[in-house]
């Protein structure tokens, strides 16, 4: 019997989405009698029936291509069950899955996508979720595709900032994406021997930040590099409820944490500071070599799961190998940096301060 495989990409894009889909399609085509149905715009497209049959040749040459040929969309999990203007999103997705006679749905995405996929599993659909995100925060997997490329881009940005910081004797604050975790910031800080890194997992103390910057200056170094994860919080902020924290933010003149840190340092030390904020560059462009291999490996593994009809799974990387875990064990959890783990110790023992 021909297996009809639906594929979608959901949430923020990253390098490696196309490479992963290519892996799924090329391997599935060899392993079984199957057809491929591309779903545009993630779960949004599944709701609205934006689904079309695609050929193997559509996927064959996209290994190095950034972004996603299927387009992506953010469809927050918390709104999935809300009926809007009489439109039942979950029912619409199930109806289209059935209408197109899909045998399974491969969902490439991050933490939100895993939650949506798990919900569809609960509705009886055959789903497989593949770990995509530059944030590297998906629970249960050591790595997600897109992360390695993003770390490489962040590292390149910081390297370039170092030379200009040195020329101008400045403190350069580089704000790095990563949502509520500091994986991207910490890895790129270690890779560039930054002076300081601020991450959500280790709330900072403003006085300690200022003290460390002064010590760097007093030690004779004429510039400093501070890498700030976009989700970094002060000790006081971290102790607040989400609601109070958001209220507090409205009172700040700065729009982002990087700008707050620049202002703190310039006001308290008299040093000149600048903010550098690479944003979506971290998600763009071609996947690096590591992500091409990882994506292909994950895609091929997913094809094997489809062949064996092992559905309701999230693919994870453990000890450099692909494994399949029940989606409900992965969805709804966040992988944070262990504060007493190897990565933090590596940074501390090579002189990187955390502002704590």
| Binding footprint of ligand F6P, residue count (CB under 6 A) | 11
12 binds ligand F6P (CB under 6 A): yes
Binding residue for ligand F6P, selected from 90, 177, 226, 322, defined by CB under 6 A: 177
C-alpha to C-alpha distance for 226 and 158, rounded to whole angstroms: 10
Is residue 151 close enough to count as binding ligand F6P by CB under 6 A? no
Distances (CA, A) of 26 to 104, 167, 296, 316, 324: 16, 50, 10, 20, 20
Contacting residue, 10, 118, 148, 179, with ligand F6P by CB under 6 A: 179
Residue 207, phi-psi category: left (phi > 0), alpha (psi -120 to 50), beta (remainder): alpha
List the one residue from 75, 116, 133, 295 that touches ligand F6P (CB under 6 A).
133
Identify residues 275-294 at the interface with ligand F6P (CB under 6 A). 283
Tell me how far, at minimum, the Cβ of 153 lies from ligand F6P, in Å. 12
Q: Is 16 in the site for ligand F6P (CB under 6 A)?
A: no
In this complex, which beta carbon is closest to ligand F6P, that of residue 96 or of residue 181?
Answer: 181
Cβ neighbours of residue 198 under 8 Å, at least 6 residues apart?
182, 185, 204, 209, 226, 227, 228, 229, 232, 257, 261, 354, 355
Q: Is 134 in the site for ligand F6P (CB under 6 A)?
A: yes
Q: How far apart are CA 237 and CA 260, in angstroms?
A: 13
Residues 25-44 that bind ligand F6P (CB under 6 A): none
Q: Which residues contact 134 (CB under 8 A, 6 or more apart)?
A: 12, 14, 146, 147, 149, 150, 177, 178, 184, 282, 283
Structure tokens at 345: 């110790």
What are 103's two structure tokens? 């045998």
- Residue 352 CB: number of other CB atoms within 10 A? 21
CB of 209 within 8 A of CB of 241? no
Q: Is 222 left (phi over 0), alpha (psi -120 to 50) or beta?
A: alpha
Q: CB of residue 159 vs ligand F6P: minimum separation in angstroms? A: 21
Nearest residue relative to ligand F6P (C-beta): 177
Binding of ligand F6P by 17 (CB under 6 A): no
Q: Is 135 in the site for ligand F6P (CB under 6 A)?
A: yes
Least distance CB 83 / ligand F6P (angstroms)? 24
Q: What is the rounded CA–CA span in Å between residue 256 and residue 258?
A: 5
Which residues inside 285-344 make contact with ligand F6P, applying CB under 6 A? none
Q: Which of residues 70-109 bind ligand F6P (CB under 6 A)?
A: 74
Residue 258 Cβ, how far from ligand F6P at the closest point, in Å? Answer: 13
d(CA 108, CA 112): 11
Q: Is 135 a catalytic residue?
A: yes
178 interacts with ligand F6P by CB under 6 A: yes
Q: CB 286 → ligand F6P: shortest distance, Å?
A: 17
Of 14 and 171, which CB lies nearer to ligand F6P in the complex structure? 14
Q: Is the Cβ–Cβ distance between 302 and 106 less than 8 Å?
A: yes
Q: Give the binding range for ligand F6P (CB under 6 A) out of 56-64, 174-182, 196-204, 315-323.
A: 174-182
Q: Considering the rule CB under 6 A, would residue 66 count as an interface residue with ligand F6P?
A: no
Core vs surface per residue 158-177: b (16+ CB within 10 A) or e: beebbeebeeeebbbbbbbb
146 binds ligand F6P (CB under 6 A): no
Catalytic position from the list 135, 137, 195, 291: 135
- Whole-number Å distance between alpha carbons of 97 and 320: 33
Binding site for ligand F6P (CB under 6 A): 12, 74, 110, 133-135, 177-179, 230, 283
**What is the set of active-site residues?**
135
């Amino acid at each position: 019997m021909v297996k009809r495989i639906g594929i979608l990409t959901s949430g923020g894009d990253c390098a490696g989405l196309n490479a992963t889909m290519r892996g799924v399609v090329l391997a599935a085509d060899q392993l079984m009698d199957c057809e491929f149905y591309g779903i545009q715009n993630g779960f949004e497209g599944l709701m609205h029936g934006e689904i079309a049959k695609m050929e193997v040749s559509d996927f064959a040459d996209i290994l190095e291509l950034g972004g996603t040929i299927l387009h992506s969309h953010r469809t927050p999990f918390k709104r999935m069950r809300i009926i809007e203007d009489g439109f039942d999103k979950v029912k619409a997705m199930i109806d289209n899955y059935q209408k197109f006679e899909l045998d399974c749905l491969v969902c490439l995405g991050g933490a939100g996508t895993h939650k949506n996929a798990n919900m569809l599993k609960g509705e009886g659909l055959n789903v497989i979720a593949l770990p995509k995100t530059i944030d590297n925060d998906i629970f249960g997997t050591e790595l997600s595709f897109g992360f390695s490329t993003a770390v490489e881009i962040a590292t390149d940005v910081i390297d370039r900032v170092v030379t200009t910081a040195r020329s101008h004797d400045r403190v350069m604050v580089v704000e790095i994406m990563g949502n509520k975790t500091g994986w991207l910031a910490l890895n790129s800080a270690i890779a560039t021997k930054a002076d300081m890194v601020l991450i959500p997992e280790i709330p900072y103390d403003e006085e300690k930040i200022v003290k460390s910057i002064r010590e760097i200056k007093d030690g004779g170094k004429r510039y400093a590099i501070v890498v700030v994860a976009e989700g970094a919080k002060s000790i006081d902020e971290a102790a607040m409820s989400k609601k109070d924290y958001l209220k507090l933010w409205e009172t700040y003149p700065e729009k982002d944490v990087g700008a707050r840190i620049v202002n703190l340092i310039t006001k308290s030390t008299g040093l000149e500071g600048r903010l550098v904020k690479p944003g979506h560059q971290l998600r763009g462009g071609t996947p690096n070599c590591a992500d091409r291999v990882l994506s292909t490996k994950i895609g091929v593994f997913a094809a094997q799961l489809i062949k064996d009809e092992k559905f309701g799974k999230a693919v994870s990387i453990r000890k450099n190998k692909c494994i399949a875990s029940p989606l409900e064990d992965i969805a709804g959890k966040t992988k944070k940096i262990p504060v007493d783990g190897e990565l933090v110790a590596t940074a501390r023992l090579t002189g990187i301060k955390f502002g704590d």
